[in-house]
């Protein structure tokens, strides 16, 4: 199927070729809280090769140690749409709220829950980790 999404103003749009709705997780870390201004970020892991983006994208590179996060924003409304990371080649991390069908997403995992705003209640049957999740366990949780 082809999923679509875009920024707040609609200037940046994307298409995503996927078999099913993307795997989605919530990150409660302080960086995500500050970047979003919200309690947590909700992200969809997708193959970068399946993502086709049109419109005025601005790139912002953030280097941490030996890795670089390459953030993509709309030049007009500054909404953050997705990023890639040199540590995870081939994977794009789409801000799940930019998907047109975001109301259908299921959040499969929560990470950095030590930093979660205390009013946020995580369902008991959804895997969670107090900080970063071990990659293999995390991917297994996302796949359900």
In this chain, which stretch among 76-84, 89-97, 100-108, 125-133 interacts with Zn ion, using CB under 5 A? 76-84
**45 in contact with Zn ion (CB under 5 A):** no
Task: Output the smallest distance, CB 136 to Zn ion, in A.
Answer: 19
In this chain, which stretch among 58-66, 77-85, 91-99, 135-143 interacts with Zn ion, using CB under 5 A? 77-85
Could you tell me if 36 and 55 are in contact, meaning their C-beta atoms sit under 8 angstroms apart?
no
Residue of 3, 24, 32, 109 interacting with Zn ion (CB under 5 A): 32
Structure tokens at 3: 């999923």
Half-sphere exposure of 24 (CA within 13 A, CB side): 20
**7 in contact with Zn ion (CB under 5 A):** yes
For 57-76, give the DSSP string: EEEEEEEETTEEEEEEEETT
Which of 101, 86, 79 lies closest to 35, judged by CA?
A: 79
Could you tell me if 12 and 53 are in contact, meaning their C-beta atoms sit under 8 angstroms apart?
yes
70 or 76: CB nearest Zn ion: 76
13 or 50: CB nearest Zn ion: 13
11 or 105: CB nearest Zn ion: 11
Could you tell me if 59 and 75 are in contact, meaning their C-beta atoms sit under 8 angstroms apart?
no
Q: Which residues in this chain contact Zn ion in the complex, by CB under 5 A? A: 7, 9, 11, 27, 29, 32, 74, 76-77
């Amino acid at each position: 199927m082809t999923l679509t999404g875009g920024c707040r103003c609609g200037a940046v749009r994307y298409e995503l070729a996927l078999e099913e709705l993307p795997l989605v997780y919530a990150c409660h870390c302080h960086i995500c809280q500050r970047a979003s201004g919200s309690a947590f970020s909700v992200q969809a892991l997708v193959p970068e090769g399946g993502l086709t983006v049109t419109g005025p994208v601005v790139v912002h590179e953030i280097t941490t140690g030996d890795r670089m996060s390459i953030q993509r924003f709309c030049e007009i409304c500054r909404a953050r749409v997705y990023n890639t990371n040199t540590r995870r080649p081939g994977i794009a991390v789409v801000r799940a709220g930019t998907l047109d069908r975001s109301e259908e997403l299921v959040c499969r995992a929560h990470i950095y829950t030590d930093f979660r705003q205390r009013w946020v209640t995580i369902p008991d049957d959804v895997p969670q980790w107090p900080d970063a999740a071990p990659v293999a366990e995390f991917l297994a949780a996302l796949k359900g």
